[in-house]
Amino acid sequence: MIAVTVHGAEGRMGRLVTELIEATGDLALCGLVTEVGHDSPAGDFHPRLPLTPQDRLPEIHPRGGVIVDFSLPTALAGLLAGGAAADAPLVIGTTGHDESQMEMLRRYADERVVVLVTNFSIGIPVLKLVLEQLATLLPEGFMPEQIETHHRHKIDRPSGTARSLALAWEAKRGGGKVPTHSVRVGGVTGEHSWIISDDEETLVVTHRAHSRRAFLRGIVPAVRFAARGTPGLYTLEDILAGGA
């Protein structure tokens, strides 16, 4: 049985992850963590577990258990401090980290497993592989642009997924940054479209999430991988390629 604490439990994704963990036979939900000042006793937010403030994370998380994070980049320092105290591998779905925060994650991954994923759907890793192939196969005249659309409450522009896809193309193709356009409207769950065109032809490749539950599909494999893996910084592509 793998013990799991959800960090950022009050958020929309945190709530869905909590339900998923409780419905998965080999995972045991052991803690729900929120920001300092938002804690509450068992029975208020969750029937069995209290909402624990971040500064008490080491008190409630069993050593070696996995922490799943869907919070905000500003919570990273506290998460890493608590995670280190519990010697916890991390599965991180939070996006929008700056370079200094990424360096903090890389240092943490020197000693523990960190699975850092911008999008836990199954389709996005496949889309990334398709784009890498297109970047290699298409003649020089084909130029890409990316349009990413999300609900109006999403903060980061462009999305972490859009940045990840663009980096994958750029690493294979070269030739500068991929123009990326961000749309924030209504309740759109998430859509990433690529338009790749020359003077004669156009290819359009799109991934569309129909609900937030699409973003849960890679979490259980990621948790299982984190619990048994060796220290390092991993992506969902690494996990799926290994058959986790």
- Count the Cβ atoms, other than its own, within 10 Å of residue 167: 13
Q: How many domains does the chain divide into?
A: 2
- Whether residue 140 sits in one domain with residue 48: no
Q: What is the mean pLDDT of residues 167-172?
A: 96
Residues 190 and 73 in one domain: no
CATH number at residue 140: 3.30.360.10
DSSP code string of 19-81? HHHHT-TTEEEEEEEE-TT--B-TTTSSSS-PEEEGGGHHHHSPTTPEEEE-S-GGGHHHHHH
For residue 241, the model assigns a pLDDT of 77
Same structural domain for residues 69 and 136? no
110 and 8 in a common domain: yes
Residues 147 and 101 in one domain: no
Q: 103 and 16, same structural domain?
A: yes
CATH number at residue 222: 3.40.50.720
DSSP string, 137-187: HS-TT-EEEEEEEE-TT--SSS-HHHHHHHHHHHHHH-SSPPPEEEEE-TT
Residues 110 and 175 in one domain: no
User: Does pLDDT of 4 surpass 80?
Assistant: yes
Pairwise CA distance, residues 194 & 203, whole Å: 8
Q: Are residues 143 and 199 in the same domain?
A: yes
Q: Mind listing the pLDDT tens digit for each residue in 97-143?
A: 999 999 999 999 999 999 999 889 999 999 999 999 999 999 999 99
For Cα atoms 26, 64, 4, give the angle at the middle one, nearest 5 degrees: 40
Judgement on whether residues 205 and 130 belong to the same structural domain of the protein: yes
Please tell me the predicted confidence (pLDDT) of residue 96. 87
H or E element in which residue 191 lies:
strand 190-197
Residues 100 and 9 in one domain: yes
Query: Are 136 and 200 in a shared domain?
Result: yes
The pLDDT tens digits for 71-96 are 999 999 999 999 999 999 999 999 88
Same domain? For 207 and 223 the reply is no
Given the residues 7, 46, 150, 192, the one annotated as active site:
150
Catalytic-residue membership of 153: no
- Looking at residue 212, its pLDDT comes to 85
Q: With 90 as the cut, is the pLDDT of residue 20 above it?
A: yes
169 residue type, one letter: W
User: Over 90: is that where the pLDDT of 182 sits?
Assistant: yes
Is 154 part of the annotated catalytic residue set?
yes
Q: Report residue 51 CA to chain centroid gap.
A: 22
Using CA atoms, how far apart are residues 208 and 162, in angstroms rounded to an integer?
13
- Tokens 């996995």 locate to 66
Give the domain range for residue 174.
123-211
